[in-house]
Amino acid sequence: MTKTLLGKIAPERVKSLDIERPPQDLIDGFKALGDASGIVSDVMDHLGIAATLPGSLLKPTIPGATIVGPAMTLRNTVMTGHPVDNARAHRNGMAEIEAHNIAEQGDVLVIEGVPGLSNMGGISAQVAKRQGEIGAIVSGGVRDVAHSRRVGFPVWATEVSPITGKWRIETIEINGPVQIEGIRVNPGDLVVADDTGVCFIPRDRAREVLELSRKRAAAEDARCDAIDRGVAIRDLPSAS
């Protein structure tokens, strides 16, 4: 199906309507690991990929939620003009609706946002859910958390704020590279998020990370089984 924009953002600011996403078998492989941000983070340490953020920084709005999917990226900045003047003139610079419009089933919206303000609210979360997105990662504030919980749309955000971004934020790019708390995320990179944290896996390293994560998960399962069987501490399988 041909994708078209809604006219909420200049076309040249949308870098791609169709991003290159990881193969489904890779996504399914990471899903099978469960809440595995710790394992994935360990593997990325060994591979020299510094792309994990803790759950204490990117706080999940729905406890127990686990998502795995390709990043669809959006970048916001502070809008010019006074918010009161912008509100009176109905100058709304936010355009995450364009990202929802071109989203595909299973995408994760990753927003380089503005701190102290809401970069995404409840209605936006509801639209995202309907469009097939499975969650959002926001460097910046979000609001209407009860609404997003009610529709079952998990969000990991650095802040919660009731202050609207409508008259204060401008979306300047969709599906270009973004910076999430110092980590570069490209559209199509794989996002793994759970209660513990968020891992951003470069798309071209995802298969390598998955293979090693499977091995580490199997080793941890064997160690846990040995603990349950009463194996002496000195004889437990190595954790490395």
63: in domain: yes
**Tokens representing 207?**
């298969």
* Structural domain includes residue 220: no
Distance, C-alpha 97 to centroid of its chain = 16
- By residue range, what is the domain housing residue 25? 11-202
pLDDT digits (tens, 9 = 90+) for 16-35: 999 999 999 999 999 999 99
Q: Which domain CATH number covers 144?
A: 3.50.30.40
Q: Which residue has the tokens 């946002």?
A: 113
Q: For 121, which DSSP code?
A: -
The encoded tokens of residue 212 equal 């090693």
Is the separation of the CB atoms in 183 and 158 below 8 Å? no
- Residue 207 lies inside a defined structural domain of this protein: no
Q: How confident is the model at residue 1 (pLDDT cuts 50, 70, 90)?
A: low
Assigned domain for 219 exists? no
Q: Tell me if 190 sits within 8 A of 201, measured CB to CB.
A: yes
Average pLDDT over residues 2-27: 94
Q: What is the mean pLDDT of residues 204-216?
A: 97
Q: What is the pLDDT at residue 47?
A: 98
Q: Identify the pLDDT of residue 239.
A: 63
| 58-114 pLDDT tens trace | 999 999 999 999 999 999 999 999 999 999 999 999 999 999 999 999 999 999 999
**Mean of the pLDDT values across residues 39-57?**
98
Q: What is the DSSP letter of 11?
A: G
- Does the pLDDT of residue 238 top 80, yes or no? no
109-147 residue pLDDT tens: 999 999 999 999 999 999 999 999 999 999 999 999 999
pTM for the full predicted model: 0.95
Residue 186: the pLDDT is 98
Distance in angstroms (rounded) separating the CA atoms of residues 53 and 182 = 10
pLDDT at 67: 98
177 inside domain = yes
Give which of 130, 124, 122 is closest to 147, Cα–Cα: 122
Q: Helices marked H in the chain — which ranges?
A: 24-31, 37-47, 83-88, 96-102, 122-130, 145-150, 206-228
CA angle 28, 29, 34 (to 5 degrees): 90
Question: Does residue 236 register a pLDDT over 90?
Answer: no
Annotated binding-site residue? 144: yes
Is 121 within the bounds of a domain? yes
The CA-to-CA distance between both ends of the chain, in Å, stands at 47
What is the pLDDT, as a whole number, of residue 231?
87
**pLDDT recorded at residue 222:** 83
Lowest mean pLDDT among 160-174, 182-196, 208-222: 208-222
d(CA 78, CA 172): 10
Domain annotation covers residue 213: no
Q: What string of DSSP letters covers 137-205? A: EEEEEE--HHHHHHTT--EEEEEE--SBSTTTEEEEEESS-EEETTEEE-TT-EEEE-SSEEEEE-GGG
β-bridge partners, 174: 14, 74
Domain count of the fold of the chain:
1
- Whether residue 143 is annotated as binding a ligand: the answer is yes
Average pLDDT over residues 161-167: 97
Residue 230 within any structural domain of the chain: no
